[in-house]
Amino acid sequence: MTVLAYEIMTPSIKAVPQSWTMDRLARFLTDNEITGSPVTDDDGEIVGIATLKDITEFRWNATRSDADRHLTPEEHEAARHLRMVLFEEMGKVPVEVRDIMTPIVLSVDETTPVRDIANIMMREHLHRIFVTSDSKITGIITTYDMLKVISDKELTQRCARND
């Protein structure tokens, strides 16, 4: 018998409002020992996902530029200084989750075979995917959940069968 999404998903999802600041999101992810969270709008509908990678990329991009490759050392230093001033000013106006989140939300049905989910996650380079039933999100499958399939002998054998 094929292993299905609902058998390995994590049913509790910790979502964050899109109006939270980036700093509050970082604290939330750290406190909950997770690397990403769904983002909800004012009606509680999931509109995206925000991850530690999004926070890191935002901060990294604020301090560097690909255009710097063609600058003299003096121009590079002036550009770095300007970016730092801008980043410092941006810090006075909190960056919200809606500004850094990925607005694309991929999901699978609870009855999707785990093998299909693995293929989607590999093809799309995902570390997590939402699980739905009747268009409502009921859980999440992460790379950690997929590793549980490998570590559970019975689940591994079920996945190996071609039902």
d(CA 37, CA 66): 29
25-59 in b/e burial notation, b at 16+ Cβ within 10 A? bbebbeeeebebbbbbeeeeebbbbbbeebbeeee
What's 48's DSSP letter?
E
d(CA 122, CA 114): 12
Q: Which two tokens stand for residue 98?
A: 């809606």
Q: Do strands 46-51 and 107-109 pair parallel, antiparallel, or not at all (unpaired)? A: unpaired
Question: Domains in the chain, start-ordered, CATH in brackets?
Answer: 5-56+96-160 (3.10.580.10)
Q: Note the pLDDT tens digit of each residue in 67-115.
A: 556 678 888 788 777 777 766 665 666 789 999 999 877 899 999 999 9
Positive or negative CA dihedral for 6, 10, 14, 17? negative
Q: Note the pLDDT tens digit of each residue in 30-43.
A: 999 988 889 988 88
pLDDT of residue 1: 77
